[in-house]
Amino acid sequence: MSELVPGGNMPLPGGVVTVRVPGPFDVSALITDDGGKVQGDADFVFYNQPSAPGARLDGDTLTVEPPRLRAGATRITVVVSSAEPGTPLGRLPAPTLLVTAPGGRRLARFAPPPPRQETVLLLAEIYQRAGGWKLRALGQGYADGLAGLARDFGVDVIDEPAPSPTPPSPTPPIPTAPIPATRSGSSSLSLPPAPAVPTAPPPSPDPGGFLGLVNSARAAAGSPPVVLDARLTSAAHAHAGAMAAAGRLGAEGRDGVSVHQRVTAAGYAYLTIGEHLVSGPRTPSESVRYCLGDERSRRTLCDPACTQAGVAYVGDGRSGDMYWTALWARPLTPGDLTRTAAEVVDLTNRQRARAGLPPLAGDPLLATAAQAHSADMVARSFYSHTSPEGTQPWDRAAAAGARRRSIGENIACGQRSPAEVVDGWMNSPGHRANILKPDFTHIGIGFAGGGPAGTYWTQLFGA
């Protein structure tokens, strides 16, 4: 069984797949095409409309048969909300997604970061890719309820008549909801359409004095300044353009290329990265103001670990919406890679010491195999212990020259630091068992940035 993190994905077997979210929640699903919009109200599966072609809801369990979805459907977004309307999810137990194959075989588990004031959570999506189907963990929160979410996906929602609005001011303020929070270290926001503008040309090195606004905010937070990097700016412009072309925010464009893949394609190798994907603001000051308006977004902009940035915006000539991509990163050096691996080993051995176990010694051959697997997951956009051609951890260890009698492997994706990834492994029973296995004596660490999830980690154990 795979333990997923936000942004992590896995291939699904053919046929029926079941997803379940136990607890005091309402489960629903939105069936869309690549544009992210439903074809009609029948594509919204929820407690009052529990079935659609290829999807059936029974209490807390959604059964999906992708081949039977309506023509043109390429994506199913799984959503949870409180069974008590309007109750923030932060007041309830954290939701957990359980994915099973026919016969009850457990495929995956996803426990997102605990939500706070959000009332709706986009938990996962099942999507078509290269003739097959995959599942991606999301963990994106909405603050204005299921109706607001449905509207964003194109569902007609009838509300009671509202009072007549007052005339809008020439420059409307930035609203605070809905705010769908993306993978840790990033956020997205859909604002009312701005006046129609032409598609922007390639951005200047510092559009509208963006860098000065950012570094002023970072200085106030006690963080060092960032400098603009041409490769990050190029990747930001490519991703903003992809979002404008699709007419929607997303960490991945219609072409299936993620923002992190655009960064690595631009020739930028990073140790850590964060992003803001925003639509609506018309000026750099509005964009920065939004990024500072939410705690998670502010942490990303002011992250002291980041030293370089890139920003760009592109207009959608059809709707007039402006799509922004801002990237924050620290470049990867050979020394950084060595220090990161050493920190993962140190944190792992601290956990073993607490359990009364001896420390693991570093093994350069295991490290070579682990690093190659992390880099391979980035290069070929997969996340699995089994490579696309079927090799397993022990095969990779043997190919690197290791001659250990027993091999174990932990993998993870999306975490931004050694502490975060080791904590995640320790909170997962299967990964924890590897870390605390008495028989293991040696370890190798792999880390690579890129791919759909942004970061890919490998621990390879040997005895």
Per-residue pLDDT of the chain (463 residues; tens, 9 = 90+): 678 877 778 888 878 899 998 888 889 888 988 777 777 777 888 876 788 888 988 888 999 988 888 888 888 999 888 877 667 777 888 888 999 987 778 888 888 877 777 788 888 889 888 788 888 888 777 655 666 566 666 654 433 333 444 333 333 332 222 222 222 233 333 333 333 333 344 444 556 678 889 999 999 999 999 999 999 999 999 999 998 888 888 888 777 888 999 999 999 999 999 999 888 788 888 888 888 887 888 899 999 999 999 999 898 877 778 899 999 999 988 789 999 999 999 999 999 999 999 999 999 999 999 999 999 999 888 888 988 888 999 999 999 999 999 999 999 988 889 998 999 899 888 899 999 999 999 999 999 998 888 899 999 999 9
Q: Do residues 34 and 75 lie in contact, with contact meaning Cβ atoms separated by under 8 Å?
A: yes
Question: pLDDT at position 152, please?
Answer: 63
294's CB contacts (< 8 A; 6+ apart) are 179, 181, 187
- Token digits of residue 302: 């002011």
- Three-state secondary structure call for residue 170: coil
DSSP 8-state assignment for residue 36: S
Look up residue 40 and give its amino acid: G
- CB burial of 188-201 (b: ≥16 within 10 Å; e: otherwise) equals bbbbeebeebeebe
Q: How many residues does the chain have?
A: 463
Main-chain phi, psi angles of 272, to 5 degrees = -145, 155
Q: Is the peptide bond before 393 cis (omega within 30 degrees of 0)?
A: no
Q: What is the pLDDT of residue 189?
A: 33
Q: How far apart are CA 92 and CA 82, in angstroms?
A: 8
Q: What phi-psi label fits residue 454: left (phi over 0), alpha (psi between -120 and 50 degrees) or beta?
A: left
C-alpha span between 120 and 95 (Å, rounded): 11
Taking the C-alpha atoms of residue 126 and residue 188, their distance in angstroms, rounded to an integer, is 20
Give per-residue burial for 393-427: e unless 16+ CB within 10 Å, then b: bbebbbebebebeebbbbbbbbbbbbebbbebbbe
pLDDT at position 288 is 87
**What are the residue ranges of helices labelled H in 13-113?**
none
Contact 144, 189 (CB under 8 A): no
- Residue 16, SS3? coil
Determine the Cα–Cα distance for residues 404 and 441; give it in Å rounded to an integer. 10
Coil, helix or strand at residue 296: helix
Residue 104's SS3 state is helix
Of 188, 320, 276, 248, the C-alpha closest to 36 is 248
Residue pair 423/387 in contact by the 8 Å Cβ criterion = no
The position carrying tokens 């359980």 is: 98
Between CA 126 and CA 444 the distance in angstroms is: 33
Dihedral sign computed on CA atoms, order 280, 285, 287, 291: negative
Full 3-state SS string of 250-291: CCECCCCCEHHHHHHHCCCCEEEEEEEEEECCCCHHHHHHHH
Which pLDDT score is estimated for 233?
A: 92
Spatial contact of 408 and 461, defined as CB atoms under 8 Å apart: yes
Element (H, E) at 146: helix 145-152
